[in-house]
Amino acid sequence: MDSWYPVGKALFGSRRFNPPSVPTQSAPARTGSVAVADGRFTTLADRYQGKRFNSPNDAVLKSNGDLYFTDPPYGLPRTFEDPGKELEVNGVYRLSPEGELTLLLSDIEAPNGIAFSPDEKTLYLSNSAKAQAAWLAYSVRPDGTLGLGRIFHVAAPWLRTRAGAPHGIKIDEHGNLFGAGPEAIYVFAPDGTHLGSIFTGVPTGNVAWGDDGSSLYITAGPRLLRLRLTTRGAAF
């Protein structure tokens, strides 16, 4: 494992990208910052069109250095109804290495997890809103903006009997999606077929590849779990 990136409530690991600093989003500060070795922080972005972010949550790095991240309001005291919420949207953004910030999506109620397919031609997202809970897939244009989106797999059937909602996402070397969600990690093939679930018994927030890429780290309630698999993360 070369790098761990703590982002909001998430952890995402990568062997492909190994910068000397650690990106992190802080919900109380509502910024996207970089923590360097001595513990100091440098803000990458904290506003869109002059208005402060809600609470940047999950992020993924593209191979060209672009940082894609979600900005739901879960870090605000009253979340969606918080009087301090400055942005009307709960957006999905792209931050270029040059510092250019682009709003890519504004029509998802609660964007949360985010990950690229191995060829970076598809961007996966999770929507944690109870009424619209699902994993989504968007085509990625050559310029890095997003094309048509579709529902990759709905989560409603599991929400009826289990606690939680779709959260963090990771992709393996074969393009399979591992999605944290209601009391489990849900595993889907690239065509959206549900291959199976890794049950945790509690609302499950996030996943990350680690070690040699075949360890899956899982945040489940108060626990941090590790599971050895026969597949590896796409970034390894």
Low pLDDT (below 50) residues in the chain = 1-27
Instruction: Write down the pTM of the prediction.
Output: 0.88
Q: How far is CA 116 from CA 5, 40, 76, 78, 80, in A?
A: 16, 29, 27, 31, 27
Q: Which residues contact 16 (CB under 8 A, 6 or more apart)?
A: 61, 63, 235, 236
pLDDT at 44: 86
For residue 169, give the nearest of 130, 138, 143 by alpha carbon.
Answer: 138
Tens digit of each residue's pLDDT (9 = 90 or more) over 173-201:
999 999 999 999 999 999 999 999 999 99
pLDDT at 236: 82
pLDDT at 14: 39
Let me know if 103 is exposed, middle or buried by CB neighbors in 10 A (0-12, 13-18, 19+): middle
Let me know if 39 is exposed, middle or buried by CB neighbors in 10 A (0-12, 13-18, 19+): exposed
pLDDT at 25: 46
Characterize the bridge pairing of strands 111-116 and 122-127: antiparallel
pLDDT at 21: 32
pLDDT at 9: 42
Domain 3-228 CATH (choose: 3.40.50.1000, 1.20.1070.10, 3.40.50.300, 2.120.10.30): 2.120.10.30
Q: Where are the domains of the chain?
A: 3-228
